Homo-oligomer: A and B are copies of this chain.
Amino acid sequence: MKLYQSDASPNSRRVRIFLAEKGISMPLVPVDLAAREQFSDAYAAVNPRRVVPTLVLDDGSAIGEVPAILRYIEEIHPEPPLLGVTAKTKAQVAMWERRAEMEGFASVMEAVRNAAPRLQNRAIAGPHDYEQIPALVDLSRKRVGNFYADFDTRLAEVRYVAGDAFSVADITAVVTVDFATKAAGLPIPEQHAALRRWYDSVSARVSMSA
């Protein structure tokens, strides 16, 4: 089993943190995004979507899409559980991880990809070219603001994003905050004290340097 990934890719970081929380290591195969290595024939043979990360199993099967990769890892290394334990907590973790991704992570990604001059015609990652839409940048930044406000409300009520236990929902939310801060100039606004308290506590975990 090996993970094709990039140190510069926030989606790859979601997987690296997950592995670190599990105490698992596996070979990491670097894909140089700056050199457009994901568009090479060699990488297209690994993942025809030409995105990172990709988990390649010992039988050669390739698993793309971060939640699918994390589901595989959780199945083969259940401890410590990061996707919930009971039917109810599995569903709550799935709900909150997805909300962190769709409302937070995806909004930051859209803001960044529609603004960066080097990504002209590459507004969406993958095998197809899509032109940038400048109006999407403002809309996406507004969505990041709403993500921050909504998760601040949530984290005033619960310790972790999905409830009582640390989970993959926290990983996605921390990666989102760091990505928004560094790539979009959108740090946590000062008034969101609950979100900040959660972030300071969770981002201090050893796994977060992965």
Contact = CB atoms under 8 A, between A and B. Distances in A.
A76 B87 contact: yes
Interface SS, A side: helix
Given A133-B139, A139-B131, A71 B90 contact: yes
Interface residues of A, number: 40
A64 B133 contact: no
Q: How many copies of the shown chain assemble into the complex?
A: 2
B139 A65 contact: no
A67 B142 contact: no
B63 A92 contact: yes
Interface in A63-82: 63-65, 67-69, 71-72, 75-76
Contact of A91 (B63, B88, B127, B142): B63
5 contacts: A63-B91, A65-B95, A67-B98, A68-B95, A71-B94
Nearest to A87: B75
A111 to B, nearest CB: 13
